[in-house]
């Protein structure tokens, strides 16, 4: 289990924080506790695909009833950038895809998943399976964990960039 977020303070400063399960025991309690601590109790939580993120939060709340109020509170604060992007932005380079991986390079050419060791959800899923396979050497596990952390951090940084782009209204797409 893994999460990443970029938290923006009232003064505009940002900090990145993340959680990546170690693989020992049930990761859900630590996942929930660290997420709750990182997101606090107020402010919007920007996501890209509220359906997926909301389902994960609801399932976690069901599995961890003592943390359910805080997790469901986060669920209520979710703000989905995907419908906003669909309604107000398109670039031909997206080629009909609304994936954050297709949108991001059109708003910031310097940010792309193409050069990453893990650059999409399928590769991330494969990396998780490899990390938890008993035959995977520790060095390889460490490499995969580093790549997963970078992939997840770019996902959340993409939302920061996209939210700023949409807020400025400086849409250069078609």
In a domain, 22, yes or no: yes
User: Token pair for residue 167?
Assistant: 């807020």
Q: What is the pLDDT of residue 168?
A: 87
In a domain, 57, yes or no: yes
Number of domains in the chain: 1
Q: What are phi and psi of 74, to 5 degrees?
A: -65, -45
Q: How far apart are CA 132 and CA 149, in angstroms?
A: 16
In a domain, 28, yes or no: yes
Q: Specify whether the CB–CB gap between 7 and 14 falls below 8 A.
A: yes
- Rg of the chain's alpha carbons, rounded to an integer? 17
In a domain, 11, yes or no: yes
In a domain, 174, yes or no: no
pLDDT for 102-160, tens place per residue? 999 999 988 888 889 998 888 999 998 898 888 999 999 999 999 999 999 998 999 89
Q: What is the pLDDT of residue 173?
A: 46
pLDDT for 22-31, tens place per residue? 877 899 999 9
How far is the CA of 169 from the CAs of 84, 102, 115, in angstroms?
12, 19, 29
Give the confidence band of 83 by pLDDT, cuts at 50, 70, 90: very high
In a domain, 173, yes or no: no
Share of the chain above pLDDT 90, in %: 75
Q: What is the pLDDT of residue 174?
A: 40
Listed as own residue / partner, the contacts of 100-104 with beta carbons closer than 8 Å and 24 or more positions apart are 100/48, 100/155, 100/158, 100/159, 100/162, 103/158, 103/162, 104/158, 104/161, 104/162
**Taking the complete model, does pTM exceed 0.75, yes or no?**
yes
Range of the domain at 45: 2-168
């Amino acid at each position: 289990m893994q999460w990443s977020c970029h938290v923006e303070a009232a003064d505009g400063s940002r900090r990145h924080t993340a959680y990546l399960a170690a693989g020992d025991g049930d990761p859900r309690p630590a996942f929930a506790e660290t997420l709750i601590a990182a997101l606090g109790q107020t402010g919007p939580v920007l996501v890209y695909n509220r359906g997926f993120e909301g389902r994960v939060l609801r399932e976690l709340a069901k599995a961890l009833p003592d943390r359910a109020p805080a997790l469901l509170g986060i669920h209520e604060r979710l703000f989905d950038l995907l419908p906003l992007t669909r309604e107000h932005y398109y670039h031909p380079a997206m080629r009909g895809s609304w994936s954050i991986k297709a949108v991001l390079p059109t708003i910031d050419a310097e940010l792309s998943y193409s050069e990453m060791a893990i650059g999409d959800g399928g590769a991330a899923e494969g990396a998780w399976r490899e990390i938890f396979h008993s035959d995977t050497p520790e060095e390889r596990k460490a490499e995969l964990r580093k790549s997963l952390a970078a992939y997840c951090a770019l996902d959340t940084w993409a939302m920061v960039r996209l939210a700023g782009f949409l807020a400025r209204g400086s849409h250069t797409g078609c």
